[in-house]
Copies of this chain bind each other. A is one copy, B any other.
């Protein structure tokens, strides 16, 4: 069994907590290392196994990720847990590979315009970097999973609508470059469920047995509807953040990722077993509230609780 099959068994729904990275990308205050560790341990106890924990970016600019190695170690100490770290350049790649993190994530833009504006490079150059990352992975001791996201895959903050054929072409190119999985990201929350369903169905077909991850933002209130459409289209790996923590640099005032606890409720209501205890998960919001009292948290389940008569869930 390969590393990716071990961490992403294809007969299971996998919900990934990205609040510790994407959720903290824009915050002004952020949790202490100790609080992040409690956040992870408490969610692990609730049944969560996949955590995006930080990025290898300059600690001067992103002090919230200065402790990324400690957090990677925390996740690594938990049986069957998968820590994920974001890298955007070769220095970061090397640091990530040296950290022993289970999964290295990177990003290419769906549009040439966003790639140039955001990363000052072409998409071809970005894919060449992904290929280099995969080569370094192959030469590394522990061979982490490599995951490349396609940002702006469902709409671009610069050019607006995105041709789905371009996203599918990039998906193929990324698999050719050697990634283990591709994440399709609605970075600015432009999509509706029909668009998500159509793109995901086609991407899942290209991927075959390799995982496609769906990364949605709830910017325009479509997050859960889009997640539902992605599940219907065959997606089995989805991202969310506790309380919908996080904003978006391209959409000021926007909310963050899909609310993790609502995503769990959605999956369970559709008959997909997540292995996650919603009530235990909701209780973890207390850590975020006390560490970041100025950050808005969202979510229906936290507000209203489980419906009467909901069977208790085993974690």
Q: Name A's B-contacting residues (CB within 8 A).
A: 155-161, 188-195, 218-222, 224-225, 227-229, 251, 253-255, 259, 262, 265-266, 268-271, 298-301, 303-304, 307-310
Inter-chain contact A255/B309, CB cutoff 8 Å: no
| Complex CA–CA separation, A222 to B262 (angstroms) | 8
Say yes or no: A304 contacts B219, CB within 8 Å.
Answer: yes
Q: List 22 A-B contacts (CB under 8 A).
A: A155-B309, A158-B308, A160-B307, A190-B307, A190-B308, A191-B269, A192-B265, A193-B225, A193-B266, A195-B269, A218-B300, A220-B262, A220-B304, A221-B262, A221-B265, A221-B301, A222-B300, A228-B228, A251-B304, A253-B303, A254-B303, A255-B300
Q: How many copies altogether?
A: 2
Interface of A is mostly: loop
The residues of B that contact A220 with a CB separation of less than 8 Å are 262, 265, 300-301, 303-304, 307
CB pair B224 A227 closer than 8 Å: no
Q: Which of B188, B189, B195, B269 is within 8 Å of A193, CB to CB?
A: B269
A270 to B309, CA, bound (A): 33
Given A224-B225, A259-B221, A262-B220, A270:B194 Cβ within 8 A: yes
| Known contacts A193-B228, A266-B193, A269-B191; A159/B222 CB under 8 A | no
Distance, CA A225 to CA B230, complexed state (A):
11
In the complex, which residues of chain B have a beta carbon less than 8 angstroms from the beta carbon of A228?
A: 193, 225, 228-229
Q: What is the minimal beta-carbon distance from A104 to any residue of chain B, in angstroms?
A: 31
Cross-chain contact B188 with A307 (CB below 8 angstroms): yes
Min CB–CB distance A276 → chain B (angstroms)? 15
**Cα(A190)–Cα(B268), bound, Å:** 12
8 additional A-B pairs beyond A160-B307, A161-B309, A192-B268, beta carbons within 8 Å, are A155-B309, A156-B308, A160-B309, A188-B307, A221-B262, A222-B224, A225-B266, A255-B300
